[in-house]
Structure 1
């Protein structure tokens, strides 16, 4: 595959590892040039590996939990000399533990990254897609969005926010040529659980977590088809999403607590 000026352009956040890295790889495989962003230096290694497939891959090492980081990424995307075709709002972190015992700065950083940066970057980049009358947006939510999440309460609430946000702006943009898709993964084999200090939970210790490449492929396919949402990964995830949606919170919440409570 050779590089050319006709290649579509995508932005992917949280792309140094995990689902975001796999989404970037899926897009490169489909012929996209990509701008990938993350706070870790590993974003440069990811870019070098992805560029081997012949596409232009531009790494941006920024802290998207800050307004300056979001604005820098938006500027870099616009400087690529090609119109944006797809925006993948994937960056996110988790915090595990009883809310009154977790550090305030960790919870607020989660809100800034998972929620604020998603809204901010969408606000900066979506008008460009709408002006062209064409484009795709993929927002990474989670099956955790469908019910309260004890011991990762702020994370679950943040994913409920971005799922609702995606569904809401999708309706607003339905006549513009721009579609918005919410990707709802379940437990996936990524660094999320170690970074969120969830390795001592039942969900963190699961042996049959989903492959991020499978989740990424399903998310990208749903995005390109203009679907409203997709539950990524195993059939069990779809079952859990349905149960979480329809079960009363009073029943769903203690069930989730068994999976996310740190082990003594």
Structure 2
């Protein structure tokens, strides 16, 4: 058990990030958690109830200033585990999207993540010790029609994680890529995708996804695709032409397809609504 070790978890106010922080807390890590919303303080309070030592930082990790603020909050303490989970999505057709939101996806998912990993990972390499978890996605395996920028950002992270792991092979620093599929979080609501098939479909449990990712980073595993369905989907994506994958993705992410699912797939009488995310 890593009692007294120190973990940094980003995107930890809700969803997979919060569940990753819970895994770290249960394992005895001291925590520095970050998100770009006030809910990070609520998350910190929940984690402290279980006895964890937690510092929360509200910072916009799409900016270098936000990453610098988070890094400064480590106060020079060696980071034993970095769980780089912060990310945002964006649905609808590329030319219908606001460019400021497009830029935020790129700056959060790619630029901010790479900068944070560079800052913390440089220290780890100097110490020859540390663990890095990067939350990629099976979305990175396929052209994301109606999620083009998001899927592209995840393709970058998936590739980056494997490349970085190879560069660090033989050192005391490990890199793990967590690649979940659609998960029950706030993601789809925030990405304006509740009018799509994937937005309204049943999804994986965030706690189960996080547990798989945490187990993978602690064992030094290179990558983990969560869920049997997602493992099959990722395997198929390696076989099909990109054009076919793009058309398949359209069926999930095109708002027009989502309307059909809602119209012809009502809840059973007496059933409670699912939590969306």
| Per-residue deviation, residues 84-135 of structure 1 (Å, max 9, x unmatched) | 1100111001111110110000000110000001110011100111122111
TM-score normalised by the chain length of structure 2: 0.90
User: What is the DSSP-based 3-state SS (H/G/I as helix, E as strand, rest coil) of the residue aligned with 2:165?
Assistant: helix
Q: Which moved more, 1:119-128 or 1:244-253?
A: 244-253
Number of matched residues?
257
Q: 1:253 aligns to what?
A: 246
Q: 2:61 aligns to what?
A: 64
TM-score normalised by the chain length of structure 1: 0.95
User: What is the DSSP-based 3-state SS (H/G/I as helix, E as strand, rest coil) of the residue aligned with 1:197?
Assistant: coil
1:246 CA displacement: 2.1
Q: Which runs of 4+ in 1 moved over 4 A?
A: none
- RMSD of aligned alpha carbons: 1.4
Given candidates 210, 214, 223, the residue that maps to 1:220 is 214
Q: Take 1:254 and 1:163, find their aligned partners in 2: how far apart are those partners?
A: 22
Which blocks of at least 5 consecutive residues in structure 2 are unaligned? 260-277
Given candidates 238, 241, 264, the residue that maps to 2:234 is 241
User: What is the DSSP-based 3-state SS (H/G/I as helix, E as strand, rest coil) of the residue aligned with 2:238?
Assistant: helix
| Per-residue deviation, residues 166-205 of structure 1 (Å, max 9, x unmatched) | 1111100112110101100111000000000011110011
User: What is the DSSP-based 3-state SS (H/G/I as helix, E as strand, rest coil) of the residue aligned with 1:54?
Assistant: coil
Q: Take 1:22 and 1:147, find their aligned partners in 2: how far apart are those partners?
A: 26
Max Rg structure: 2
| Per-residue deviation, residues 53-111 of structure 1 (Å, max 9, x unmatched) | 1121110000111110001101112x1x6421100111001111110110000000110
